[in-house]
Amino acid sequence: MRSHVQTLKFHILSCPILTVGIGSVFERIFAGRWIAGPTLDDAMRRARQLNALGMAAIINYMGEEFREKGEVAEAVAMNLRLIRAIRKAGADASISLKPTQLGLRIGKAFARSNYNRIVGFARKHGVFVWLDAESQDTVDNAISIYLGQAGKGGVGVTLQAYLRRSEADLQRLIRKKAVVRLVKGAYRESARVAFVDRNEITRNYLLLMRQLFAGAREFTIATHDSSLINEALKLNRSYRRRVTYAMLNGIRNGYAAMLAERGNRVALYVPFGPRWIEYSVRRLREESHLLLVLRSLLGG
């Protein structure tokens, strides 16, 4: 299967439609499956659709690795608009921010100031704020920025199971009573800092998930892996934690809806914004996400 995925990835990424102006075919077949659209209205429309199906939305305004203050200012303004829109609609939705979207590459103090501004505004409007995970060189700063607000509530942070450091990070966050969203992780990292074998990543995810059930009251299990979700459901029959099951919009929507119908709290991660092309291409360059998209296209 791996060799077939690699071959298909080569054909997709070498296709002129991706290198000379991505066209409507790519948008409909790939991007349109998991991205709400370019506008705030698109994101809110998708959130309302999910709410009608008994699911929440985790809304992300796309953009990362910003190195210009103007880009950061635009992203901050859009997230403030998003918070207002969620409050006005009474939607069951949170927002998710990326550290480098907030200006981490410009400076930690700058990113912290932008994060604090958004979080303060979100608290006034009753909207939960996630701080997303990015490459491993951002983790220390991201956790530090998050912990500066964690004690006041209304915020959560994402950990990636493929990073070798995540067990130590998780124990620290559990002691701080943090709200964690556990994902497998998708950035390219060396074997020195990350597990690269899929089975190793799954085993570490299971280890971290069990530690969450043992030590935390509220957290999110973010995976499309049915075996891990089934194990989480089994664990929660004993622990009775406040667990949310999160997935990417457009990947296993039917399965997510089934979990919600059975009384579980479910949230779909909904990206939106004009940067959908760069986001989509980056996702498709990651073998794990390409495999998920292919399975979704086949109904798996």
Active-site amino acid positions: 132, 181
Amino acid code (one letter) for 86: I
C-alpha distances out from residue 80 to 20, 48, 110, 129, 269, Å: 34, 19, 17, 11, 18
Any bridge partners for residue 129, and if so which? Answer: 95, 155
Cβ neighbours around 68 below 10 Å, total: 11
Residue 87 burial (10 A CB sphere; 0-12, 13-18, 19+): middle
As a whole number of angstroms, the distance between CA 130 and CA 149 comes to 11
What is the end-to-end Cα distance of the chain in Å, rounded?
15
Write phi, then psi, for 174 (nearest 5 degrees): -60, -40
Q: Where are the alpha helices (DSSP H) in the chain?
A: 2-13, 16-19, 24-26, 32-34, 40-52, 69-89, 108-125, 139-150, 166-175, 198-215, 226-239, 253-261, 276-285, 287-297
